[in-house]
Amino acid sequence: MEFNDPAPLSITAMILNLVFGLGLSVLLAIYYARFGDSLSNRSKFAPILPLLSLITLLVISIVKSSLALSLGLVGALSIVRFRTAIKDPEELIFLFFAIAIGLGLGADQRVPTLVAFIVIMVYLFGRKIINKSFNISAKNNLYLNILLPLSSTSDDAFGFVNEVLSEELESADLRRFETNGQELHLVFYFRTKTTDTFARLSNRIHEKYETATINIVEQNNLLGG
């Protein structure tokens, strides 16, 4: 391979790789949008995956035939800084999956890429089926934030909330208790099987404390959840 003279790029092979890569990456995007567990907006994130695969495929197809272009790519990437943090591990996995598709097809490794894609997708579907069949899917960490006004020092707001939670929820674990004499702030980690519980719980608390603030937050990354 000449350092300054890149080998000719086969347009036919590149088009075939692009079409093949588009098909695989679209299937990946459909799976992620339909079956992903990420808390982010999957419908907006999924269309990025085919674009990422095709762009990676294009870059690899161009630089693989020239050492000079390869070294130039390394230098260019060394000054690129990505400021958007990927906080969800599942997003990172699917991003890497999309890049791997582009890398494999950009290197003209169609059969190994297809075989790896099938094996990984079979594993993903199998995991979903097993988790659903045996009810072993990852549990959501739901946190209930309650802010109550205290009308008097004798107001047993904490006892009232505990009574409501014990009747409406499967389990409730107190994580925070804070009061300044005028307001009571409580944070509970809880589990429930139905979303109807949220409405009943909120209605019962607001019947006694009209100005109460109630928030339910899902935090899978909090320690101790």
Those residues with Cβ within 8 angstroms of residue 69's Cβ, 6 or more apart along the chain or in another chain: 6, 62, 63
Q: Indicate the burial class of 199 (C-beta count within 10 angstroms; 0-12, 13-18, 19 or more).
A: exposed
Contact of 9 with 65, CB cutoff 8 Å = yes
96-112 pLDDT tens trace: 999 999 999 988 899 99
pTM: 0.60
- Give the span between the Cα atoms of 194 and 165, in whole angstroms: 14
Backbone angles phi, psi at 179, to 5 degrees: -145, 145
Q: Cα angle vertex 108, ends 53, 5, to 5°? A: 100
Within the chain, strands assigned E span 142-149, 171-179, 183-191, 213-218
Backbone angles phi, psi at 138, to 5 degrees: -60, 135
**pLDDT more than 70, % of the chain:** 75
Q: Is CATH 3.30.70.100 the right assignment for the domain spanning 142-218?
A: no
pLDDT at 111: 94
Check: CB of residue 221 under 8 Å from CB of residue 196. no
pLDDT tens digit sequence for 8-46? 677 888 899 999 999 999 999 999 988 887 756 778 889
Banded model confidence at residue 149, pLDDT cuts 50, 70, 90: confident
The angle subtended at Cα 128 by Cα 92 and Cα 116, nearest 5°, is 60
CA distances from 168 to 147, 161, 164, 172, 194 (A): 18, 11, 6, 10, 10
Rounded CA-CA distance 207/184 in Å is 17
Contact 192, 142 (CB under 8 A): yes
User: What is the chain's mean pLDDT, rounded?
Assistant: 80
pLDDT 10s digits, 50-79: 999 999 898 888 887 666 666 666 655 555
**% pLDDT > 90, the chain:** 25
Name the CA radius of gyration of the chain, rounded: 26
Cβ neighbours around 184 below 10 Å, total: 20
**Domain ranges in the chain?**
11-79+86-134, 142-218
